[in-house]
Chain A
C-alpha cells in the first residue's frame, strides 16, 4: 500500500484541478468496480455490489483535491504573486516549493521583513520560477499549483504534503480491492473534488447518489505533540470514529454502530471530537431529505503543512474498519 500512497501524495491536484490525481485513481481501480463515471464536478464515482433486502445504498467519500495556490499577478521581473486555494497558512510557505499543474516548479520567497520575528503575509510573498521577465515567465495569471515535497517513509509513520486527503483516497482504493464478496450493500466509492474550498464535489455526488448512509474518510488533528492542542486523538491509537467536528455532529446511531463493529472485530479505535474543520460528511448529512452520516478519520499531525504525518497502523485499521462495516447488515438504532 505504501507505493500507492507515495504515488497519490506526490501528485499535484489543487481544488478544481484534480486531474493528475484522478488519473492515478482511475488506473488503480481499473476492473475493480461494477460501474464508474466522472460527474460534472470531476468526482470519480465507482459503484460496487448490489443492494440486498437487508442492505443499504452507501456513499463513501474521500477527497482528491489538496490545498494550493493560484497565480494572481506576474511582475515585470517574472516574479509570481499568488493567493491561496483552501486553508493554507502563511507560516508554512516561505522557503517552500510549489509545482504548477502545468509542471512548472518554483520556490516561495518573500519581501524583506522589518522584523525577523514576524511571519510574511501572503501579500509579502511571491513565487520565483527562475524567470527574469514577465515575457519569459512560464506561469500565467490563473495557473494553479500544489506544494511540492517528496514522500517520506519513517517506517510506522508516513509524511507527505497531501496526506489530507490522499491517504484516505488510498484507503478507499484498498477497501474497494478488499470489498467483501458477501456484502449486502450497494456501495458508491466517491473520490471527490473541491473539498478544501467548501465540500463542493461531495455536495453534488450525494445529491446524485441519494444514499441511505454516508461515511466520509478524512484526516483529523491530534493532541499528542509537545504543547499540542487539548485533544484526545493520537497517532497509532487506531481508527478515529468522529463524534463531532467544527461543521457537523455525526449521526449518533452510526457512531454506535462503528464503535460496536470495531469492538467485535478487535480493531483499535478512538473517539474523535475535532473543534475546527469539517469533512464531506457534513454535506452528505443534509442532502435531500437527510442522510445518516459520519466519518472515519485517520489521525494526522501538522495538517495543512507540507509535512503531514500519519501512522501506517492507523491507516490499516481504517481499512479494516471500513471492510468490516461493509461486510454485513448495518442497523442504526
Chain B
C-alpha cells in the first residue's frame, strides 16, 4: 500500500458520516480525490462524484465505480433522566454494544458510552441474555438538565473507537464497511495517473447505501454510465463460520460476485484479467440481493451491466471490523488494470448470450 493510502484509511475510520449525514467523510474523500480527477461534484443526495476523463475520442464510454461512504451508527430517540435511548442506522448487532465508546452529535459533540442495566434489574424475560437495543442507553456523564439542553431526538450517535493496526497488514476499526472500498477506489485512481485509458472513469462515493441504496440508485441515473462496478466488503472466514458457508479467507484475495445481479460477460472479463495479472480472487456466489449498490445500479434507467468486487472483512457491522490492507490494494489494482483494458468497442463484446456460449 502506498504511503498515502494507510493514513487516508485511518482518517476515514476516525470519522462519523452516518447514512444521510455523510458530510464529514465526504470532505476528506474529496480532498484525497481532488488531485486524481478532473472534476468533483456532489449529488442531490450527497454522493461524491469524481470524473477522470479518458484519452479516447469523444463521445467516450463511461464506467462508474461505486463505493459507499456512509456508515452504520445510532440515533437518539428519547432523552430520559439524562440518559439516551436510541435506535440504529443501518443494521447493528446489539450484543456488541454495551461498553462501546461513542460520540453523541448534540448541540456539541459529547463523548459517552453505551451502557446496560444490571442483569437483575431487567424484566425477567430478558435476564441472562444479551440485552436488546430497546433496553440499552447512552450515558454522557452530564447532569440531566444539561443533557436535556444539549441532546434531542434525532441526534446522531457514532462509534468512537480509533483504528488499530494489527500486525503488518490488518487494520481494525468501525466503518471499514465501506471505507475500505473507498480507499480501494482511491488506490485505483492513483494507479490510473500512470496509465492510459480510453474510457471516462466516474469514481463515486455513494450515500445512504446502508438504508436505501440511495446513492446506488440516484448517481447512475445522473451519470448514465455504460458499466457499473460496486466495490463493497464481504464476509471473511471467522469464528463460527464453516468453510461451506459463503465466506472467504482474510488477506488472500478479493471476490468477484456471480449471480443474477452480475452481468456474466462482465464477470468473465474481470475473471480473465485477474488470472492474467495473477491477482488472487474467489468467486462469490450471490443468489439473490448482492447486498451492495450493484443491486440498485443494475436496474437504473434502461439497465446497466453491473458487477461486485468484494473485500473480505471479519466481524461485519461491529466497531471492530477487520480488513487486510493487501486485499484493498488488490481491489484497487484490479480496477485500474480493468479500466486500462477497456476499448471503445467493449460494449459490443459483452452480451448475456456470449457468456453462455
Residues in A lying within 8 Å of B, measured CB to CB: 230-232, 243-244, 247-252, 255, 271-273, 275, 282, 285-292
Q: Is the CB of A286 within 8 A of B153?
A: no
B76-120 contacts to A, CB under 8 A, are: 76-78, 85, 87, 89
What is the distance, in angstroms, from A296's C-beta to the closest C-beta of chain B? 14
CA distance A247 to B210 in the complex (A): 11
Q: Is the CB of B212 within 8 A of A230?
A: no
What is the distance, in angstroms, from B265's C-beta to the closest C-beta of chain A? 27
What is the distance, in angstroms, from A185's C-beta to the closest C-beta of chain B? 17
**Given A248-B211, A252-B21, A286-B218, A230-B134 contact (CB < 8 Å):** yes
Q: Is the CB of A271 within 8 A of B152?
A: yes
CA distance A273 to B79 in the complex (A): 13
Closest 8 CB pairs of A and B: A290-B218, A243-B154, A249-B20, A290-B45, A289-B222, A290-B44, A286-B217, A271-B153
Q: Is the CB of A249 within 8 A of B218?
A: no
19 more A-B contacts (CB under 8 A) besides A230-B134, A273-B87, A290-B47? A230-B85, A232-B77, A243-B153, A244-B154, A248-B212, A249-B19, A252-B20, A255-B154, A271-B154, A272-B153, A273-B76, A273-B154, A275-B87, A282-B212, A286-B212, A289-B44, A289-B219, A290-B43, A290-B45
CA distance A124 to B299 in the complex (A): 40
B44-86 contacts to A, CB under 8 A, are: 44-45, 47, 75-78, 85
Which of B21, B153, B217: most chain A Cβ within 10 A?
A: B153
Residue B214 at the chain A interface, CB threshold 8 Å: yes
Q: Is the CB of B77 within 8 A of A273?
A: yes
Residues in B lying within 8 Å of A, measured CB to CB: 19-21, 43-45, 47, 75-78, 85, 87, 89, 134, 152-154, 208, 211-215, 217-219, 221-222
CA distance A35 to B212 in the complex (A): 33
Q: Which residues in A have their C-beta under 8 angstroms from that of B218?
A: 286-290
**Given A230-B77, A285-B45, A249-B208 contact (CB < 8 Å):** yes
Q: Which residues in B have their C-beta under 8 angstroms from that of A231?
A: 77-78
Q: Is the CB of A286 within 8 A of B214?
A: yes
Q: Which residues in A have their C-beta under 8 angstroms from that of B214?
A: 285-286, 290
Q: Which residues in B have their C-beta under 8 angstroms from that of A252?
A: 20-21
What is the distance, in angstroms, from A4's C-beta to the closest C-beta of chain B? 32
Q: Is the interface of B mostly helix, strand, loop or mixed?
A: mixed
Q: Is the CB of B43 within 8 A of A247?
A: no
Q: Which residues in B have their C-beta under 8 angstroms from that of A272?
A: 153
Q: Which residues in B have their C-beta under 8 angstroms from that of A289?
A: 43-44, 218-219, 221-222
Q: Which residues in A have their C-beta under 8 angstroms from that of B85?
A: 230
**Given A247-B212, A288-B218, A230-B44 contact (CB < 8 Å):** no
What is the distance, in angstroms, from A174's C-beta to the closest C-beta of chain B? 27
CA distance A40 to B335 in the complex (A): 43
What is the distance, in angstroms, from B53's C-beta to the closest C-beta of chain A? 21
CA distance A210 to B332 in the complex (A): 36
Q: Which residues in A have their C-beta under 8 angstroms from that of B215?
A: 290
Q: Is the CB of B78 within 8 A of A232?
A: yes
CA distance A244 to B47 in the complex (A): 19
What is the distance, in angstroms, from B325's C-beta to the closest C-beta of chain A? 31
Q: Which residues in B have their C-beta under 8 angstroms from that of A271?
A: 152-154
Q: Which residues in B have their C-beta under 8 angstroms from that of A290?
A: 43-45, 47, 214-215, 217-219, 221-222
**Given A230-B78, A232-B78, A271-B154, A285-B212 contact (CB < 8 Å):** yes
Q: Is the CB of B211 within 8 A of A243?
A: no
**Given A230-B134, A247-B212, A271-B153, A288-B78 contact (CB < 8 Å):** no
Q: Which residues in B have their C-beta under 8 angstroms from that of A255?
A: 154
CA distance A232 to B80 in the complex (A): 10
CA distance A292 to B42 in the complex (A): 13
Q: Is the CB of A249 within 8 A of B211?
A: yes
Q: Is the CB of B44 within 8 A of A244?
A: no
Q: Which residues in A have their C-beta under 8 angstroms from that of B217?
A: 286, 290
What is the distance, in angstroms, from A208's C-beta to the closest C-beta of chain B? 15
Please pick, from B47, B89, B134, B213, the residue contacting A249 in the complex, using a CB distance under 8 A.
Answer: B89
Q: Which residues in B have their C-beta under 8 angstroms from that of A292?
A: 44-45
Q: Is the CB of B89 within 8 A of A273?
A: no
What is the distance, in angstroms, from B280's C-beta to the closest C-beta of chain A? 36
What is the distance, in angstroms, from B228's C-beta to the closest C-beta of chain A? 15
Which of B20, B21, B77, B217: most chain A Cβ within 10 A?
A: B77
CA distance A119 to B258 in the complex (A): 45
CA distance A288 to B222 in the complex (A): 7
What is the distance, in angstroms, from B86's C-beta to the closest C-beta of chain A? 9
Q: Which residues in A have their C-beta under 8 angstroms from that of B134?
A: 230
Which of A271, A272, A282, A287: most chain B Cβ within 10 A?
A: A271
Q: Which residues in A have their C-beta under 8 angstroms from that of B222?
A: 288-290
For this complex, 15 residue pairs linking A to B, each with C-beta atoms less than 8 Å apart, are A231-B77, A232-B78, A243-B153, A244-B87, A247-B212, A271-B153, A273-B87, A273-B153, A273-B154, A282-B212, A285-B45, A285-B212, A290-B215, A290-B219, A291-B44
Q: Is the CB of A243 within 8 A of B44?
A: no
Q: Is the CB of A243 within 8 A of B212?
A: no
CA distance A87 to B19 in the complex (A): 27
Q: Which residues in B have their C-beta under 8 angstroms from that of A287?
A: 218
CA distance A252 to B219 in the complex (A): 19
Nearest residue (CB) in B for A289 is B222
Q: Which residues in A have their C-beta under 8 angstroms from that of B44?
A: 289-292
Q: Which residues in B have their C-beta under 8 angstroms from that of A230?
A: 77-78, 85, 134
CA distance A250 to B19 in the complex (A): 10
Q: Which residues in A have their C-beta under 8 angstroms from that of B75?
A: 243-244, 273
